[in-house]
Amino acid sequence: MLKIENLNFSYSKHEVLKEINLNLECGKIYGLLGQNGVGKTTLLKIMSGLLKPKSGVCNVLGYNPFKREPGFLQELFFIPEDFVGPDIEVNKYASLRGAFYPNYDGFKFSKLLTDFEVDGRSKFTKLSFGQQKKAIIAFALSTNTKLVLMDEPSNGLDIPSKSQLRRIISQASTDESCIVISTHQVRDLENLIDPIIILDTNDVLVNASVEEISSKLKFEFRDTPDKEALYCEPTLGGYLTVNRNETEVESKVNIETLFNTVLMNKKTIKQIFKK
Amino acid sequence: MEFNEHKPIYLQIADNLCDKILGGEWQPEERIPSVRELGTLLGVNPNTIMRTYDHLQSLEVIFNKRGVGYFISKEAKDTIIAAQRNQFIQEELPKILKKMALLGINPSEVLI
Q: What ipTM score was computed for the predicted complex, to two decimals?
A: 0.83
pLDDT in tens, B74-93: 999 999 999 989 989 998 89
Closest residue to A173, CB basis, from B4, B42, B46: B46
Q: Where are the domains of chain B?
A: 9-105
Query: Is B36 part of the contact surface with chain A (CB cutoff 8 Å)?
Result: yes
Q: Chain B: nearest CA to A37, how far in angstroms?
A: 28
Query: Is B6 part of the contact surface with chain A (CB cutoff 8 Å)?
Result: yes
Chain B hits for A27, CB-CB cut-off 8 Å, are 47
Architecture of domain A2-207: 3-Layer(aba) Sandwich (3.40)
Q: What is the pLDDT along chain A (275 residues), one digit of tens a residue?
A: 999 999 999 998 888 999 999 999 999 999 999 999 899 999 999 999 999 999 999 999 999 999 999 999 999 999 999 999 999 999 999 999 999 999 999 999 999 999 999 999 999 999 999 899 999 999 999 999 999 999 999 998 989 889 899 999 999 999 999 999 999 999 899 899 999 999 998 889 999 999 999 999 999 888 888 888 999 999 888 899 999 999 888 999 999 999 999 999 999 999 999 87
Closest residue to A192, CB basis, from B4, B12, B43: B43
Chain A hits for B87, CB-CB cut-off 8 Å, are none
Chain A hits for B16, CB-CB cut-off 8 Å, are none
How far apart are alpha carbons A241 and B69 in whole angstroms? Answer: 40
Q: What is the pLDDT of residue B1?
A: 61
Please tell me whether residue A75 adopts helix, strand or coil conformation. Answer: coil
Nearest-CA residue of chain A relative to B41? A167
Inter-chain Cβ pairs, chain A and chain B, closer than 8 A: 62
Fold of the CATH domain B9-105: Arc Repressor Mutant, subunit A (1.10.10)
Chain B hits for A252, CB-CB cut-off 8 Å, are 3-9, 12
Closest residue to B43, CB basis, from A170, A194, A214: A170
- Report whether A230 contacts A261 (CB < 8 A): yes
Chain A hits for B2, CB-CB cut-off 8 Å, are none
What are the start-end ranges of the H helices in B23-58?
A: 35-42, 46-58
Chain A hits for B52, CB-CB cut-off 8 Å, are none
Q: How far is CA B102 from the centre of its chain?
A: 30
Q: How confident is the model at residue B3 (pLDDT cuts 50, 70, 90)?
A: low
Handedness of CA B15, A209, A164, A179 (dihedral sign): negative
pLDDT in tens, A96-128: 999 999 999 999 999 999 999 999 999 999 999
Q: Chain A: nearest CA to B111, how far in angstroms?
A: 31
Closest by Cα among B39, B37, B38, B6 to A29: B39
Residue A41 falls in which region: left (phi positive, over 0), alpha (psi -120 to 50) or beta: alpha
Q: Where are the domains of chain A?
A: 2-207, 209-272
Q: What is the pTM assigned to this prediction?
A: 0.89
Closest residue to A194, CB basis, from B4, B6, B47: B47
Query: Is B1 part of the contact surface with chain A (CB cutoff 8 Å)?
Result: no
Q: What is the pLDDT of residue A274?
A: 85
Give the residue-averaged pLDDT of B35-58. Answer: 94
Give the residue-averaged pLDDT of B28-41. Answer: 93
